[in-house]
Chain A
Amino acid sequence: MTRDEALFQFLLRMGDNTLVLGHRISEWCGHAPVLEEDIALANTALDLIGQTQLWLGLAGEVEGKDRDADRLAFHRDVWDFHNVLLVEMPNGDFGQTLMRQFLFDAWHSIMLGRLQKSADHRVAEIAEKTGKEVAYHLERSADTVVGLGDGTPESHQRMQAALDYLWPYIGEMFASDDIDAEMASAGIAPDPASLREEYDALVTKVLSDATLAIPQSTFSHKGGKAGTHHSEHLGHLLTQMQWLQRAYPDATW
């Protein structure tokens, strides 16, 4: 594996995370609990779609095979997707959506903070720009998790259920493999394991403000980042997202 091949994979991971999560969040448009939340969720989704264009755009450039961000987003199958499993989990209720958002935002913001010091200036520039957007995502999702966790008995119970359901998908964000090792040795991206301490401190603080109990299990699902074992959910998401491009391959939209 050359450095550029590893970088390509790394960029797909970043871009697929934002692509898949942005898609998930966009599913809420028109269906949120209150207008203000509907509008706020759409803003988050718009940020994530924009970030996808940057990450996948750079991925295509690094790959050098004439694939742009759209080509990569709409013409790969499940096994070529490299997002973590967490972001492809279904929306569930609003609480599950916001809990997933918070658990991802916390990782995302720490990751982007480190990437701003990347040895690859293109990566650093994207991290710089998107870091500001994600700082706001985190602020908002953390506040909502606290509000709902601490709110009524029903909202508390729903948030605890969401946390219990999503907790086994946290670990994958910190698992390192060959690609991560290559990125770390090149100074392009941090070793994911090195983000864990900061993440745990942040998440513990917010979840305890939310009066939620952190699950004891340390088990974690994996296979999304590597692309080898996605959940069944991703295929359905792609079926919808890619349908027009696949059904009319010769069309320009």
Chain B
Amino acid sequence: MYAQMIKTAGTSVKSREEMTEDERKFQDRIDADEKIEPKDWMPDDYRATLIRQIGQHAHSEIVGQLPEGNWITRAPTLQRKAILLAKVQDEAGHGLYLYCAAETLGISRDELTEDLLSGKMKYSSIFNYPTLTWADIGAVGWLVDGAAIMNQVPLQRTSYGPYSRAMIRICKEESFHQRQGYDLIRACAEGTPAQRKMAQDALNRFWYPSLMMFGPSDKDSVHSAQSMAWKIKINTNDELRQKFVDQTVPQAEYLGLTVPDPDLKWNEERGHYDFSQPDWKEFFNVIKGNGPCNVDRMTARRKAWDDGKWVRDGLLAHARKKAAAKAAAAA
């Protein structure tokens, strides 16, 4: 999932007695599954939390272009190149939709971008891992998009209208992303010994970072409780992680690949797989900026933004001149 460790604004879930009249009405609407729209009254904390969450989600899409974009120019066939390019382009589109949803809350896309570049806002930890081989592109589609979809499908029902609509559009477009990844890594897994090795190596490196995408356990978190009451978070991190593992293990088995977890086993009683937790120390390090690619990712984004300034300014200046000339002609 692309929004991790979102700190909910406010300190705890308020009881009905503690709520103001407006807050009570607001909560009633959410409980009745009504959508909240941009001009509706909403608590400041709801607005602030949503900006953080949607913003982080959008940033993740944009930074997420980089690890996969790393292989566009090296894709091994024309078709694979087109598929990958279309997929990475979709990520840009998804970032765009999400920024627009955030903009309905009273913050501009440029402000959000500045907050990403200054380090004030974060993006998903997963994109700080490198894509070293072509099979990694398969692993990213299969595992990373697979994990993202786990989170995004329920978010289509989120309480904030523009966010929900963006998620619906994104889910519709994303449906090919995971499949193309699986198809790609499958070609490797069923290929030559060297390709097979590539596929296993990709799974080895992306398995635990994918599990980290759901964030640490939040069953006792007050932030999550408030976000769930507001329906901007639908499931707990552990629920989604379990669902992801249960879904993914048979897919790995089909490929004849080994999930790099010696303790992974089916638990008949629970009806789920038991599995090892990722190294949460590593996760917090990555979040803090110490992942293998944090610096490179931010350097690339900053460069695109800084180098692009003259283009954005130039096209806007031309548009203003044209509008002024038109106004002068009409006067």
**A residues with CB within 8 A of B:** 23, 26-27, 29-39, 42-43, 45-46, 49-50, 52-53, 69-70, 73-74, 93-95, 144, 146-148, 150-152, 154-156, 158, 240-241, 243-245, 248, 250-253
Measured between C-beta atoms, what is the minimum distance from B210 to chain A in Å? 21
Specify which chain A residues have a CB less than 8 angstroms from the CB of B300 in the assembled complex: 30-31
Measured between C-beta atoms, what is the minimum distance from B308 to chain A in Å? 2
CA distance A201 to B17 in the complex (A): 76
Contacts A33-B309, A253-B184 known; 20 new A-B pairs at CB < 8 A? A30-B304, A34-B312, A39-B92, A42-B85, A49-B82, A53-B78, A70-B77, A73-B78, A147-B315, A150-B317, A150-B318, A150-B321, A155-B317, A156-B314, A240-B73, A241-B74, A244-B74, A244-B134, A245-B76, A248-B192
Question: Any chain A CB within 8 A of the CB of B319?
Answer: yes
What number of A-B contacts does a CB cutoff of 8 Å give?
Answer: 147
CA distance A154 to B310 in the complex (A): 7
CA distance A12 to B312 in the complex (A): 37
Question: Any chain A CB within 8 A of the CB of B253?
Answer: no
CA distance A33 to B304 in the complex (A): 6
Ranked 5 nearest A-B pairs via Cβ: A33-B308, A155-B314, A151-B314, A30-B65, A42-B89
Specify which chain A residues have a CB less than 8 angstroms from the CB of B92 in the assembled complex: 29-30, 35, 38-39, 42
Specify which chain A residues have a CB less than 8 angstroms from the CB of B82 in the assembled complex: 46, 49-50
Q: Are B134 and A34 in contact, CB atoms less than 8 angstroms apart? A: no
Q: Are B81 and A152 in contact, CB atoms less than 8 angstroms apart? A: no
20 A-B contacts (beta carbon < 8 Å): A30-B62, A30-B65, A30-B66, A33-B307, A33-B311, A38-B89, A46-B89, A50-B82, A53-B79, A70-B79, A146-B318, A150-B317, A154-B313, A155-B313, A241-B73, A241-B74, A244-B76, A251-B76, A251-B195, A253-B134
Q: A42-B88, A50-B82, A253-B80 are in contact. Are A29 and B65 (CB under 8 A)?
A: yes
Specify which chain A residues have a CB less than 8 angstroms from the CB of B72 in the assembled complex: 26-27, 29
Partner of A147, one of B62, B69, B80, B318: B318
Q: Are A253 and B187 in contact, CB atoms less than 8 angstroms apart? A: yes
Measured between C-beta atoms, what is the minimum distance from B137 to chain A in Å? 11
Measured between C-beta atoms, what is the minimum distance from B267 to chain A in Å? 37
Q: Are A37 and B311 in contact, CB atoms less than 8 angstroms apart? A: yes
Q: Are B73 and A23 in contact, CB atoms less than 8 angstroms apart? A: yes
CA distance A133 to B125 in the complex (A): 38
Q: Are A35 and B96 in contact, CB atoms less than 8 angstroms apart? A: yes
Question: Any chain A CB within 8 A of the CB of B327?
Answer: no
Q: Are B86 and A243 in contact, CB atoms less than 8 angstroms apart? A: no
Q: Are B88 and A49 in contact, CB atoms less than 8 angstroms apart? A: no
Question: Any chain A CB within 8 A of the CB of B331?
Answer: no
Question: Any chain A CB within 8 A of the CB of B95?
Answer: yes
Interface residues of B in 96-145 (CB under 8 A from A): 96, 99, 134
Query: B180-216 CB contact bits vs A (8 Å, 1 = yes)?
Result: 0000100110011011000000000000000000000
CA distance A34 to B109 in the complex (A): 11
Measured between C-beta atoms, what is the minimum distance from B101 to chain A in Å? 14
Partner of A94, one of B93, B99, B191, B307: B307
Question: Any chain A CB within 8 A of the CB of B169?
Answer: no
Q: Are A74 and B77 in contact, CB atoms less than 8 angstroms apart? A: yes
